[in-house]
A = this chain, B = another copy of it.
Amino acid sequence: MSLDPAAIDTLKKVSTATITTIMLKKGLRNIWLRGTRPLREGQGRLVGKAFTLRFVPAREDLATPESWSKPISTRGAIEAMPEGVIVVADAMGVTDAGIFGDILCARMKKRGVAGLVTDGVMRDGEGCLGTGLPIWCDGVAAPPSVAGLTFVNWQEPIACGGVAVFPDDIIVVDDDGAVVIPAAYLDVVLAEAPEQERMEAWIMSEVESGVALPGLYPMNADTKARYEAYKASLK
């Protein structure tokens, strides 16, 4: 089942930084994927359910151009991707073999994939970007995936950038990288994130007015009262 459009709307206004703050307060400190960043400036913020891909290291008898014709292949995976998902590929942090090039990215774009996130790299980076698919990755490399990786399966639990990602989890990506919201935590993030964003924006305006940090951020009782008054004034 795809993600509720209202949830997408809400999360599109919440930075990945704010999501990590909320999750840390719930006890989850490890939800930001290391080694992945926007391949191009200005890709903005995307929200979607995770569609996971899993690779293991290359073995010369398995990781061959011929393997691309098998039912269990990156090709098969792409044809199984529902519209609106964010593909998250566990490349084990391998940076010397590109998981996909322009052709596969073009097909993902055609299928309505919202974006691609990996702790690995792309090949033919310019070609990939030319397809219009937003990509978060650890750079580019010329060699094909089979030079370093063997594709295993899709929609399994994976590791990506040192973080566990499950098929039902929600992914948010922006200029600070990618975070995972475990499915069971979606409601709490939706409930608390907008207020957190509002509060931090108010604190920012206070700093710009010259208010010092102690007592402001975090807020002490006086500051909280001022903030509540501000919020009341908005209604």
- A positions within 8 Å CB-CB of B: 15-17, 19-21, 24-25, 27-32, 34, 37, 56-62, 65-66, 68-69, 75-76, 78-79, 92, 95-96, 98, 101-104, 106-107, 110, 123-126, 139-144, 146-148, 150, 152-153, 156-159, 162-165, 175-177, 179, 182, 184-185, 200, 203-204, 207-208, 210, 212-214, 217-218, 220
Which of the residues B15, B60, B98 comes within 8 Å of A124, measured between beta carbons? Answer: B15
Are B142 and A79 neighbours in the complex by a CB distance under 8 Å? no
Are A24 and B65 neighbours in the complex by a CB distance under 8 Å? yes
Are A164 and B57 neighbours in the complex by a CB distance under 8 Å? yes
Residues in B whose Cβ lies below 8 Å from that of A98 = 17, 176
Are A56 and B102 neighbours in the complex by a CB distance under 8 Å? no
Are A177 and B30 neighbours in the complex by a CB distance under 8 Å? no
Q: A28-B61, A110-B210 are in contact. Are A20 and B143 (CB under 8 A)?
A: yes
A168 to chain B, nearest CB (A): 13
Q: A140-B176, A218-B65 are in contact. Are A58 and B79 (CB under 8 A)?
A: no
Are B140 and A32 neighbours in the complex by a CB distance under 8 Å? no
Closest to A210 in B: B110
Are B164 and A107 neighbours in the complex by a CB distance under 8 Å? no
Are B164 and A28 neighbours in the complex by a CB distance under 8 Å? no
A72 to chain B, nearest CB (A): 10
Which of the residues B27, B58, B102, B175 comes within 8 Å of A140, measured between beta carbons? Answer: B175
Closest to A78 in B: B213
A212 CA to B110 CA, complexed, in Å:
9
Are A106 and B207 neighbours in the complex by a CB distance under 8 Å? yes
Are B58 and A30 neighbours in the complex by a CB distance under 8 Å? yes
A225 CA to B204 CA, complexed, in Å:
57
A19 CA to B20 CA, complexed, in Å:
29
Are A213 and B92 neighbours in the complex by a CB distance under 8 Å? no
Are B102 and A147 neighbours in the complex by a CB distance under 8 Å? no
Instruction: Give 29 A-B contacts (CB < 8 Å), ordered by A residue.
Output: A16-B142, A17-B123, A17-B142, A17-B143, A19-B142, A25-B65, A28-B59, A29-B58, A30-B59, A34-B141, A56-B157, A56-B159, A56-B165, A57-B162, A58-B164, A61-B184, A69-B220, A75-B213, A79-B213, A92-B92, A98-B176, A103-B203, A103-B204, A103-B207, A104-B217, A106-B208, A125-B175, A150-B157, A150-B164
